[in-house]
Amino acid sequence: MELLKRRIIEDGRVLSDQVLSVNTFLNHGVDPVLIAAMGREFAERFRDAGVTRVLTIESSGIAIAFATAAELGVPLVYARRRKALMNEGEYYSERVPSFTKGIVTDIVISKEVLKANDRILFIDDFIANGDAARGALRIVERSGATMVGAGIAIEKAFQSGGSFLREQGIPVLSLARIASLEGGQVRFAEE
Ligand code: G4P
Ligand code: NA
Ligand code: NA
């Protein structure tokens, strides 16, 4: 998606060979015009997939997932980070390591908002090693639902998360695929 790639070049900040900051338009500051355009791209790609629900993980995926769900006319659910006082039997829970934060969290989804007949479109802002996506996929599978696609704003193609999802047979649309962040330079993968 040219609009997103251009924005990454103009406003993204390479923090290391592994990490790109997009704090001014995606992760902290949010550009609603860009986000809405991203929602349209995902909706167009997955329009015929019979999606019944869009799934993301709090917090940075929510805006993009909302835009996508609104375009598709289906509900959105975002997995939450486990806090205390969650009644075990009412939630699916998966342990997920976080690459950027260096910690492990439990992501949880209430059984009230994920059903066995759901066809899930997973949306997220970044995919790195795919730990979050793997956790989300496990919860979807445990619920009996099906993950029919994944829409990722920024895929860091030098990490394995995108490949992992494709190897599971899940169609993946990444709006910007980054081949490398080495030397403080963003290099996009060839399409
Ligand atoms: P993975 O799931 O693909 O393995 O990714 P990882 O655990 O590494 O991601 C941990 C968090 O870091 C995620 O946000 C993810 O969106 C974000 N992330 C991964 N790589 C980058 C990057 O290069 N730049 C930025 N800005 N973020 C990155 P999160 O922990 O779920 O937090 P939230 O921001 O969504 O609340
Ligand atoms: Na995220
Ligand atoms: Na994030």
Per-residue pLDDT, 64:
98
Structure-block tokens of residue 31: 């550009």
129 is in an annotated binding site: yes
Per-residue pLDDT, 88:
77
Whether 74 and 51 have beta carbons less than 8 Å apart is answered as yes
20 is in an annotated binding site: yes
CB of 151 sitting under 6 A from ligand 1: no
> How much distance in Å is there from the Cα of 162 to the middle of ligand 3?
16
Pick the atom of ligand 1 nearest to 129's CA: 4
The pTM of the full predicted model, rounded to 2 decimals, is 0.96
Cα 140-25-3 angle, rounded to 5 deg: 90
Structure-block tokens of residue 134: 């793997």
d(Cα 167, Cα 180) in Å, to the nearest integer?
21
Per-residue pLDDT, 83:
75
Per-residue pLDDT, 119:
98
Residue type, 115: K
Per-residue pLDDT, 126:
97
The tally of CA atoms less than 13 A away on the side-chain side of residue 40 is 9
Residue 10's SS3 state is helix
Q: Is the ipTM of this complex over 0.90?
A: yes
Residue type, 191: E
Closest by CA to 136, choosing from 92, 85, 70, is 92
Could you give phi then psi for residue 53, rounded to 5 degrees?
-160, 140
H-helix or E-strand spanning residue 144: none
> How much distance in Å is there from the Cα of 134 to the middle of ligand 3?
16
Profile the chain (191 residues) by mean pLDDT over runs of 10 residues.
98 97 97 98 98 97 98 98 80 88 91 97 97 97 98 98 98 98 96 68
Pick the CATH number of 2-82+89-188 from 3.40.309.10, 3.40.718.10, 3.90.1640.10, 3.40.50.2020: 3.40.50.2020
CB of 22 sitting under 6 A from ligand 1: yes
Other Cβ atoms closer than 10 A to 28:
11
Per-residue pLDDT, 170:
98
The position carrying tokens 């994920």 is 114
